[in-house]
């Protein structure tokens, strides 16, 4: 058993369903959960429903929280089980591409870019760039989009993202590599280019 990641006092308050603690946890995590549900490919209505279901399960099963993970990790885990249920209901599946083909298409045998990213457009407005980024995120397969948003937007650490998505660190690395590569290529088609590898 690992050391608890949540404080003993907070864990105990959650387990005994202290109303103030449960409300604080819900308020603190509402927006990140909504953002993650949308990133997982749910529309606004479905995202709100999934988050509501997540918080309901959290309250119903609060006494099972053992503090071995952060409460937000537990909440994201519940959320992505709800998202997976919805995906199964709609028959949605991630597409798989060949990582070797992606690398071969972008790099030569010495590991140098075969088609380096180009200089950024200086006059591109931040609002337009964000709209394009959201559009490109929307084109990613669900697991890649979710991995990217949890790691880069919500800034969960690698262990937390792995627990939420139930993947190994290596698998997470592949998901993030593919997400960043697809986002870079999508943004390049919209005119956003950089001298160095785009940091996403």
We report the CATH number of the domain holding residue 45 as 1.10.1740
Question: Is 195 among the domain residues?
Answer: no
Q: Is residue 200 part of a domain?
A: no
- Final residue of a structural domain among 90, 125, 146: 90
104 and 77 fall within a common domain: no
Does the residue 198 lie in any domain? no
Of 90, 110, 131, the one marking the end of a domain is 90
Q: Do 43 and 82 lie in a common domain? A: yes
The pLDDT score that the predictor gives to residue 13 is: 93
What's the alpha-carbon Rg for the chain, to the nearest Å? Answer: 19
pLDDT at position 63 is 93
Residue range of the domain that includes 171: 99-189
If asked whether residues 75 and 103 sit together in one domain, one would say: no
Residues 25 and 75 in one domain: yes
pLDDT score for 12: 93
Q: Give the domain CATH number at 118.
A: 1.10.10.10
3-state secondary structure 175-200: HHHHHHHHHHHHHHHCCCCCCCCCCC
Same domain, 112 and 176: yes
In this structure, the answer to whether residues 21 and 71 fall within a common structural domain is yes
Judgement on whether residues 60 and 141 belong to the same structural domain of the protein: no
Pair 108, 41 in one domain: no
Dist CA 195 CA 33 (whole Å): 34
Please state at what angle helix 19-39 crosses helix 44-60, rounded to 10 degrees.
150
* Overall number of domains in the chain: 2
118 and 83 together in one domain: no
Give the chain's residues under pLDDT 70: 1-4, 90-130, 192-200
- Let me know if residue 3 belongs to a domain: no
Statement to judge: residues 41 and 72 lie in one domain? yes
Between helices 71-90 and 158-165, what is the axis angle to 10°?
40
Tell me what pLDDT residue 18 has: 93
Tell whether 66 and 136 lie within a shared domain: no
Residues 67 and 31 in one domain: yes
Which residue among 62, 90, 118 closes a domain? 90
- For residue 28, tell me if it sits in a domain: yes
């Amino acid at each position: 058993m690992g050391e608890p990641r949540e404080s003993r006092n907070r864990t105990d308050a959650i387990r005994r369903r202290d109303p103030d603690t449960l409300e604080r946890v819900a308020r603190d995590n509402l927006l990140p959960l909504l953002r993650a549900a949308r990133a997982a490919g749910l529309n606004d209505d479905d995202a709100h429903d999934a988050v509501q279901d997540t918080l309901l399960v959290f309250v119903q099963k609060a006494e099972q929280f053992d503090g071995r993970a952060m409460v937000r990790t537990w909440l994201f885990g519940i959320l992505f089980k709800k998202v997976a249920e919805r995906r199964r209901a709609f028959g949605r599946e991630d597409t798989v591409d060949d990582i070797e083909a992606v690398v071969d298409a972008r790099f030569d045998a010495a590991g140098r870019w075969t088609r380096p990213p180009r200089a950024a457009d200086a006059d591109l407005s931040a609002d337009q760039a964000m709209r394009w980024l959201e559009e490109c995120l929307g084109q990613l397969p669900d697991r890649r989009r979710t991995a990217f948003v949890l790691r880069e937007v919500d800034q969960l650490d690698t262990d937390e993202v792995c627990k939420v998505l139930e993947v190994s660190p290596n698998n997470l690395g592949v998901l993030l590599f593919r997400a960043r590569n697809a986002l870079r290529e999508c943004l390049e088609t919209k005119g956003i280019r950089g001298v160095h590898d785009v940091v996403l």
